[in-house]
């Protein structure tokens, strides 16, 4: 390729996702073990479930499956968030959705940086769950001031990364040589640092306020804290984890097991304590963990409302945070309440609970122009001229995210903040609006309908 031709942001994201995975595998060997387990499980599922294999073939997901992963970072200041937004933009990633984690006792709000068009997602579905610490929720004013000063002193981007972000913005992209250098420079922001910027006593003070505050404030940068592969059967992986020396959290977050998966199911395992050199002493910190996820169909506002209602009903009846002791009962309650959610794609579609993608079939294309060609979407589907496939959920779930945070911060970290959503403030820090994920699903669904109509009737 000519060195001056611009590289597509989607290709830069694909390269960055691969580089991030290589770095994390080197730093956290358990991640490599988990990747192998997920790959083995996915191969087995595809071999034994030809209908699922066909569906993933049709939507293209089968070709992105083994490169599919999400990561997460936690930032300390508005300025860091604004710059990370520009960094991700170079890779074609936009901030999608707003998540308030305060009701679960985690003093952050978050968004997910990801590609927004189905074709871009096909090239690389890499996502990063990005949280901003809310210093205003630290009640101890002295500690808050200390945290502000510590964060003001650090610079989480390399000069090279900042220069290439500016260059990409000015020139509308990067050439191949600069894109490679950008990936190398950008990776530095996410790297683990075995040395802290504070003393052991300062770390303890921050940590006593909230483990998460120490994780953000005491370090040079926002180390990537997990990288999550996508499995086609999370229960199989969860069951096989102990055999590989990995102990998963007690419950799988998200909906219960179903024939037709919806939204997102996730489970994680706690990382080990890692040695840290504080400025005056040796100590340790645990931040990095492992997680797996299984993705299902995206839900419409109506479907999402039903999901939220059933989840809340099950949790209310449990009367406590799901944990080791009540895990079996929680699973039972979830299965019971979710009987009210149709487990069948035809019904979900007819009732407007989920988003779908529509594909013209060979039979439909062969009948094009003939008098026998049906004229409406439903009739075309019934005649087998259009295939309907679930549109995969690309985002996150706040209650699940809270459960993942909690399990990795340790139960002692459960603090109480009153629900405190502040999307406007988050967007002000970000420097732009967040994208409405429901609009994106609606647009992808509509584009697939338009393409079918064009191909069959146009």
- Residues numbered 70 to 89 that lie near ligand OOG (CB under 6 A) are 72, 74
Q: Is 212 helix (H, G, I), strand (E, B) or coil?
A: helix
- H-run or E-run covering 276: strand 274-277
| Nearest approach, Cβ of residue 70 and Ni ion (Å) | 6
The verdict on 306 binding ligand OOG (CB under 6 A) reads: no
The verdict on 223 binding ligand OOG (CB under 6 A) reads: no
Q: 81-86 long-range CB contacts below 8 Å, 24 or more apart?
A: 81/130, 81/132, 81/429, 81/430, 82/429, 82/430, 82/431, 83/157, 83/162, 83/165, 84/113, 84/130, 84/189, 85/113, 85/430, 85/431, 85/432, 86/165, 86/169, 86/431
Cα–Cα dist 311/264, whole Å:
13
The verdict on 129 binding ligand OOG (CB under 6 A) reads: yes
The verdict on 21 binding ligand OOG (CB under 6 A) reads: no
**Residue 295 or 357 with smaller CB distance to ligand OOG:** 295
How many residues in the shown chain lie near ligand OOG by CB under 6 A?
12
The residue range among 117-125, 158-166, 189-197, 223-231 that interacts with Ni ion, by the rule CB under 5 A, is 223-231
Please provide the size of the chain in residues. Answer: 458
- H-run or E-run covering 390: strand 386-390
405 interface partner picked from Ni ion, ligand OOG, none, CB below 5 to 8 A per type: ligand OOG
**Residue 147 or 381 with smaller CB distance to ligand OOG:** 147
The residue range among 38-46, 222-230, 276-284, 425-433 that interacts with Ni ion, by the rule CB under 5 A, is 222-230
Q: What is the x/- site pattern for ligand OOG, positions 384-413, by CB under 6 A?
A: ------------x---xx--xx--------
According to CB under 6 A, which one of 77, 83, 266, 294 is a site residue for ligand OOG? Answer: 266
The residue range among 48-56, 235-243, 287-295, 413-421 that interacts with Ni ion, by the rule CB under 5 A, is 287-295
Name which of 393, 391, 422, 436 is nearest 95 in CA terms. 436
The residue range among 34-42, 119-127, 285-293, 306-314 that interacts with Ni ion, by the rule CB under 5 A, is 285-293
| Nearest approach, Cβ of residue 14 and ligand OOG (Å) | 21
The verdict on 227 binding ligand OOG (CB under 6 A) reads: no
Q: Is 271 helix (H, G, I), strand (E, B) or coil?
A: coil
Angle at 146 between CA 145 and CA 151, to 5 degrees: 100
**Residue 212 or 353 with smaller CB distance to ligand OOG:** 212
- H-run or E-run covering 395: none
The verdict on 269 binding ligand OOG (CB under 6 A) reads: no
Measured in whole angstroms, the distance separating CA 70 from the mean position of its chain's CA atoms is 5
The verdict on 295 binding ligand OOG (CB under 6 A) reads: no
**Residue 61 or 291 with smaller CB distance to ligand OOG:** 291
Measured in whole angstroms, the distance separating CA 383 from the mean position of its chain's CA atoms is 37
According to CB under 6 A, which one of 41, 124, 185, 225 is a site residue for ligand OOG? Answer: 225
Name which of 69, 71, 73 is nearest 38 in CA terms. 69
Q: Is 172 helix (H, G, I), strand (E, B) or coil?
A: coil
Per CB under 5 A, residues contacting Ni ion are 228, 291
Per CB under 6 A, residues contacting ligand OOG are 72, 74, 129, 131, 225, 266, 291, 396, 400-401, 404-405
């Amino acid at each position: 390729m000519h060195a001056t031709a611009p590289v597509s942001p989607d290709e830069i994201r694909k390269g960055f996702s691969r580089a991030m995975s290589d770095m994390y595998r080197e730093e956290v060997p358990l991640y490599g073990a988990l990747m192998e387990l997920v790959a083995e499980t996915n191969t087995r599922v595809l071999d034994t479930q030809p209908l699922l294999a066909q569906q993933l073939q049709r939507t293209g997901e089968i070709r992105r499956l083994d490169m599919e992963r999400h990561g997460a970072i936690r930032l300390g200041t508005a300025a860091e968030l604004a710059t990370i937004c520009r960094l991700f933009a170079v890779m074609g990633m936009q901030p999608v959705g707003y998540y308030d984690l305060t009701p679960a006792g985690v003093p952050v709000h978050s968004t997910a940086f990801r590609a927004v068009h189905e074709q871009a997602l096909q090239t690389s579905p890499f996502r990063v769950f990005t949280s901003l610490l809310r210093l205003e929720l630290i009640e101890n004013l002295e500690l808050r001031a200390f945290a502000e000063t510590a964060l003001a002193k650090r610079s989480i981007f390399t000069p090279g990364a900042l220069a290439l972000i500016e260059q990409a913005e000015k020139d509308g992209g990067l050439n191949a040589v600069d894109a490679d250098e950008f990936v190398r420079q950008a990776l530095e922001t996410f790297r683990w640092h075995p040395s802290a910027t504070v003393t052991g006593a300062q770390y303890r003070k921050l940590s006593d306020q909230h483990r998460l505050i120490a994780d953000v404030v005491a370090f040079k940068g926002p180390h990537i804290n997990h990288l999550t592969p996508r499995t086609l059967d999370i229960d199989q992986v969860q069951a096989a984890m102990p055999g590989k020396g990995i102990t998963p959290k007690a419950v799988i977050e998200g909906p219960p097991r179903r024939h037709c998966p919806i939204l997102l199911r996730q489970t994680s395992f706690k990382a080990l304590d890692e040695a840290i050199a504080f400025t005056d002493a040796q100590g340790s910190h645990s931040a990095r963990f492992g997680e797996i996820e299984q993705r299902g169909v995206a839900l419409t506002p109506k479907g999402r409302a039903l999901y939220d209602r059933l989840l809340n009903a099950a949790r209310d009846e449990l009367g406590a945070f799901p944990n080791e002791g009540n895990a079996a009962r929680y699973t039972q309650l979830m299965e019971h309440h979710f009987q009210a959610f149709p487990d069948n794609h035809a019904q979900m579609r007819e009732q407007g609970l989920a988003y779908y993608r529509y594909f013209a079939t060979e039979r439909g294309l062969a009948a094009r122009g003939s008098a026998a060609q049906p004229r409406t979407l439903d009739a075309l589907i019934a005649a087998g001229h259009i295939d309907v496939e679930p549109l995969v959920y690309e985002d996150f779930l706040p209650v699940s995210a809270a459960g993942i945070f909690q399990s990795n911060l340790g139960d002692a970290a459960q603090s109480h903040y009153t629900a405190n959503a502040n999307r406007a403030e988050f967007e002000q820090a970000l420097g732009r609006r967040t994208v409405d994920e429901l609009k994106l699903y609606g647009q992808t669904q509509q584009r697939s309908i338009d393409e079918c109509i064009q191909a069959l009737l146009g």
